[in-house]
Structure 1
């Protein structure tokens, strides 16, 4: 083998190694993020935002007042957990994400027109009918 072949072989092996490492990282990224301190903080912030937004929804306030209320609840929760130095922008982003998730979960929109059309009864798939065999007479021990 020439030097050129060894170089190509090394590049190929390195490419495969990088691909394997990237695959393992992306597969375990969620676990890695939650294991780090910043990942734990972001996870806690997201949970607090979800709770605060759902609580603010039931207060009957205007939208801006709900946002302020949710922000105060999140700040209190972060202080209770001992988490400091969370910027207002992160809190606002978590609130916005929680609001969007809540609206998507509560979306009661009608299905598309082609789905809600009446289907003729003969076109509806029915479960198969399983016919029961009559019980055999005699002893079950083979006598």
Structure 2
């Protein structure tokens, strides 16, 4: 069992953050006879998952909903954290690729762009279009 400061230190967050997440119901401590909060060892992985989901820009309410779903259908925390981190790496790689592609697309005229994107699936086109918008430019219009 971990005290709030120990959990905070092991996960790189403040005690205030741990306290806030506890108040929201994202973390579940065990109360001692003297009413101190102690967190089970699994709280480390649980908090790491919360932080990984926050990096995905989920709200705390959305994170709470996901954690509740996971509680009902448990999966290994390590596996979930690994998958989220893998997705983050892939998204970073895609963003870098789009940034490299953007100057090249600017050199093409609209007809060349249409011919180039014609073989893309509708889903691929939608993804490229969304990424271009997120990066502040839209060469596909």
The TM-score normalised by the length of structure 2 is 0.33
Which of 1 and 2 has greater Rg?
Answer: 1
Which fold has the larger relative contact order, with Cα–Cα distance below 8 Å and residues 6 or more apart in sequence? 1
Q: Tell me the TM-score normalised to structure 1 length.
A: 0.33
